[in-house]
């Protein structure tokens, strides 16, 4: 059982998946910082100095100036500003992955379609090898067809 597990773990696609998950987590941290520290402050500034992290609804009915104050008071909150930041994170990651996949596809073109292995005889309509010069069924000469 242990050797079977070792074989499973050491297969290339499992290792590639592990590397992809680790790189994705690191990339997610970079994108989160990009959104929170670079993208959202100018957008908040354009909207009158608003911080999206402080967009929330207090479900207790009390009013709080910031999300931190509401959490400190133990009030239940609906944090739609944080959700908006997360949606923007997702869109940036999705766009970056889209660009990456496009570039990889451009670097590795699709293989050309192979020539068909069989063709149809013009005289008897039976399938014959594509390289045949004469039909084995009706003995017709195919080079003129």
Per residue in 38-72, pLDDT (tens digit) is 888 888 788 887 777 788 999 988 999 888 899 99
Residue 70, classified by CB atoms within 10 Å of its CB into exposed (0-12), middle (13-18) or buried (19+), is buried
Per residue in 106-126, pLDDT (tens digit) is 888 777 777 778 888 888 888
Task: Give the number of other Cβ atoms within 10 Å of residue 39's Cβ.
Answer: 16
pTM of the model: 0.56
Question: pLDDT category, 144, cuts 50, 70, 90?
Answer: low
* Cα radius of gyration (the chain): 31
> How confident is the model at residue 77, as a pLDDT?
93
Per residue in 72-95, pLDDT (tens digit) is 999 999 999 889 888 888 888 888
Region 132-139 average pLDDT: 86
């Amino acid at each position: 059982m242990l050797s079977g597990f070792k074989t499973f773990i050491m297969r290339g696609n499992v290792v590639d998946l592990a590397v992809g998950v680790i790189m994705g987590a690191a990339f997610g941290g970079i994108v989160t910082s990009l959104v929170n520290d670079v993208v959202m402050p100018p957008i908040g500034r354009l909207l009158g100095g608003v911080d999206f992290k402080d967009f929330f609804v207090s479900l207790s009915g009390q009013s709080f100036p910031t999300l931190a104050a509401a959490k400190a008071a133990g009030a239940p909150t609906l944090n739609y500003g944080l959700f908006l930041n997360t949606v923007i994170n997702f869109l940036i990651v999705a766009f970056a992955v889209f660009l990456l996949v496009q570039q990889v596809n451009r670097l590795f073109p699709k293989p050309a379609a192979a020539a068909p292995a069989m063709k149809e005889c013009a005289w008897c309509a039976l399938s014959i090898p594509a390289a045949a010069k004469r039909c084995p069924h009706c003995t017709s000469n195919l080079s003129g067809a």
